[in-house]
């Protein structure tokens, strides 16, 4: 098999992957309109696992021609060059590079993971970029007036006919925009709308994403649509606040489903709206998490080249399952499963891997940090603090390959670094403590709504993001809520103790919510705040009721924006959709 055949074979594998991925994505809008939530959940999970399946198909056939993991240097340099030529005008060139990398890395030893053979650096930096306009439409109110223009925008998404009262919705939308963006020139002849062609879908919501360009500047916005009690659509909120927009696209949420022909153009448009987001985060957010990993790793390599700082043990209470380390000025942590766990953790490595994958495939409702999973990460020893190097050799010896100059970590997770909640509280004001303990309870409740039981609810397993949002990040004890048994603490009298009667036996999945304050919130001040905001979480009745709702397929909607942003008309009083 020559270089052209190999290159064509890999690009054909990518074409099949992308075509099937988009076919799955295209099924989401009709499922959303008919409220087939289980179908949406199923497609979302398939989209996550789909990439690895397509890569493996390609690898399996190529292995027939390359049974050894020894590389033919000259051949694969030629293959890469042929592949680069195929990508010059390819609308998904950057994703095709990542697919190539994945195939190559499955075929050969990690010592060959060099830019000579794979795309450590993208070939696209020297190619003219696809125009951002490929992914959005522009609308000009000066032609037809503001109201007609808004109607046209929603009509082009295919959602206008599904609105219960579109005239009222449009009036509320205009009113909200005038209120939220008072510094924008509102004369219709002094503005232009740029709207991404395809709505973004996640869970029970659809989102229209765009910007208003006026004489006073650019105002990004997101329009959120939901179903009402009449099974029709309503515009639920307008979001123009940069922080709130960033949270909707946040790293603790499930990936959007959105159709795109030119992902790089869509990402650049989104980056213009949300410049605080990294390119990697935006690729992740629209479902291309494998390429998000590629972009992240390039940023990681660039960070290492730009300074001489060394890896060090991450701040916080050391975990019993994971070794966690970081780079001081790089806002991420690196997590490696330890060789052995503490006796209180009665499970092994395979269980931990499965639980992290469970979270990856699940709706994270803005409360569970996304994880990037890597294999064979090479770190120079001289970039590791001596204390950390000692711990690496002691705690994860089975997960590393060591030589004179490098440590290669066979498997690790990378997460956004946030301040551990227990450390945040140490230096927090009373007002800050009240906020984060209330939000800690909110985080637990929102995870329960999507059938996630966090397991270990100690404060050290939660963190506070830069948006002052409490997020869970330790998944080794995560289970489905419906697998647990919530009970009241048995009452044992002194007479029972004195009489020598046996104490009740407890099953592994028994949980006693009354013990939350006993073991988690031992500080009386924190306990008082928690009891004031969330007394129901300390009773088994609350947990049992959530379980019952899940079993009866009563799915509550967790809003990714404040309730105060919601429009007041046709609201569902029960808060479910």
Q: Catalytic residue numbers?
A: 370
Give the tokens for residue 293.
Answer: 């990993």
Contact between 159 and 179 under an 8 Å Cβ cutoff? The reply is no
Cα gap 290→242, rounded to integer Å: 26
Burial class (CB in 10 A: 0-12, 13-18, 19+), 477: middle
Contact between 523 and 491 under an 8 Å Cβ cutoff? The reply is no
CB atoms within 10 A of CB 90: 18
Collapsing DSSP states into helix, strand and coil, what is residue 157?
A: coil
Q: Pairing between strand 200-202 and 205-214? A: antiparallel
- Helices in 450-576 by DSSP H: which ranges? 494-499, 524-533, 540-551
Which pairs with CB-CB distance under 8 Å and at least 24 residues apart come from 99-103?
A: 99/10, 99/13, 99/14, 99/17, 99/51, 99/54, 99/55, 99/290, 100/10, 100/14, 101/294, 102/51, 102/55, 102/290, 103/10, 103/13, 103/55, 103/58, 103/59, 103/62
Cα gap 284→278, rounded to integer Å: 10
DSSP state of 319: P
Dihedral of the alpha carbons of 303, 304, 310, 313, in degrees to the nearest 10: 60
Dihedral of the alpha carbons of 515, 459, 344, 503, in degrees to the nearest 10: 0
Q: Per this entry, what is the length of the chain? A: 577
Burial class (CB in 10 A: 0-12, 13-18, 19+), 24: middle
Give the tokens for residue 535.
Answer: 């007394």
Cα gap 231→378, rounded to integer Å: 53
Q: Pairing between strand 136-139 and 191-196? A: antiparallel
Name the nearest CA neighbour of 561 among 291, 275, 202: 202
Cα gap 516→506, rounded to integer Å: 17
Contact between 129 and 267 under an 8 Å Cβ cutoff? The reply is no
Cα gap 206→285, rounded to integer Å: 14
Angle at 548 between CA 547 and CA 549, to 5 degrees: 90
Contact between 175 and 189 under an 8 Å Cβ cutoff? The reply is no
């Amino acid at each position: 098999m020559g270089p052209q055949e190999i290159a064509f074979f890999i690009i054909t594998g990518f074409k099949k992957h992308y075509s099937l991925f988009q076919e799955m994505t295209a099924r989401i809008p009709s499922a959303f309109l008919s409220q087939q939530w289980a179908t949406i959940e199923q497609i979302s999970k398939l989209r996550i696992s789909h990439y690895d399946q397509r890569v493996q198909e390609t690898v399996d056939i190529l292995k027939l021609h390359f049974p050894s993991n020894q590389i033919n240097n000259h051949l694969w340099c030629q293959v890469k060059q042929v592949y680069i030529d195929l990508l010059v005008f390819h609308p998904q060139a950057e994703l095709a590079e990542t697919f190539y990398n994945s195939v190559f890395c499955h075929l050969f030893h990690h010592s060959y993971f060099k830019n000579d053979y794979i795309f450590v650096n993208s070939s696209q930096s020297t190619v003219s970029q696809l125009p951002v306009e490929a992914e959005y439409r522009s609308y000009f109110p000066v032609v037809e007036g503001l109201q007609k223009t808004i109607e046209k925008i929603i009509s082009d998404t295919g959602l206008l006919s599904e609105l219960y009262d579109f005239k009222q919705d449009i009036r509320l939308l205009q009113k909200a925009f005038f209120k939220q963006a008072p510094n924008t020139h509102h004369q219709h002849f002094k503005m232009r709308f740029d709207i991404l062609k395809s709505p973004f879908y996640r869970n029970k919501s659809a989102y229209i994403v765009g910007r208003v360009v006026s004489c006073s500047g650019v105002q990004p916005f997101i329009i959120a649509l939901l179903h009402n009690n009449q099974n029709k659509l309503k515009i639920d909120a307008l979001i123009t606040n940069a922080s709130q927009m960033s949270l909707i696209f946040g790293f603790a949420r499930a990936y959007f489903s959105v159709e795109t022909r030119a992902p790089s153009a869509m990402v650049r448009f989104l980056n213009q709206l949300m410049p605080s987001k990294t390119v990697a985060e935006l690729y992740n957010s629209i479902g291309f998490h494998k390429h998000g990993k590629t972009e992240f790793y390039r940023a990681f390599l660039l960070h290492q080249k730009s300074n001489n700082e060394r890896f060090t043990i991450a701040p916080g209470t050391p975990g019993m399952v994971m070794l966690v380390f970081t780079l001081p000025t790089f806002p991420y942590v690196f997590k490696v499963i330890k060789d052995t766990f503490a006796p209180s953790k009665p499970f092994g490595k395979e269980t931990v891997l499965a639980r992290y994958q469970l979270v990856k495939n699940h709706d994270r409702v803005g409360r569970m940090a996304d994880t990037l999973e890597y294999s064979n990460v090479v770190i120079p020893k001289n970039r590791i603090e001596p204390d950390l190097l000692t711990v690496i050799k002691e705690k994860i010896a089975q997960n590393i390959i060591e030589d004179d100059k490098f440590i290669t970590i066979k498997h690790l997770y990378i997460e956004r670094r946030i301040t551990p909640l227990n450390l945040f509280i140490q230096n927090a004001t009373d007002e800050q403590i009240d906020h984060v303990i209330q939000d800690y309870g909110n985080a637990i409740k929102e995870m329960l709504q999507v059938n996630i039981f966090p397991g270990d609810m100690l404060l050290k397993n939660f963190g506070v993001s830069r948006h002052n949002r409490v997020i869970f990040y330790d998944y080794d004890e995560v289970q489905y809520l419906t697998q647990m048994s919530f009970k009241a603490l048995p009452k044992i009298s002194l007479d029972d103790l004195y009489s020598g009667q046996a104490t009740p036996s407890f099953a592994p999945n028994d949980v006693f919510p009354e013990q939350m304050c006993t073991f988690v919130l031992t500080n009386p001040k924190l306990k008082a705040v928690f009891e004031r905001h969330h007394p129901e979480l300390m009773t088994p009745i609350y947990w049992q009721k959530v379980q019952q709702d899940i079993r009866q397929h009563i799915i509550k909607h967790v809003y990714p924006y404040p309730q105060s942003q919601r429009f007041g008309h046709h609201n569902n009083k029960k808060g479910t959709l």
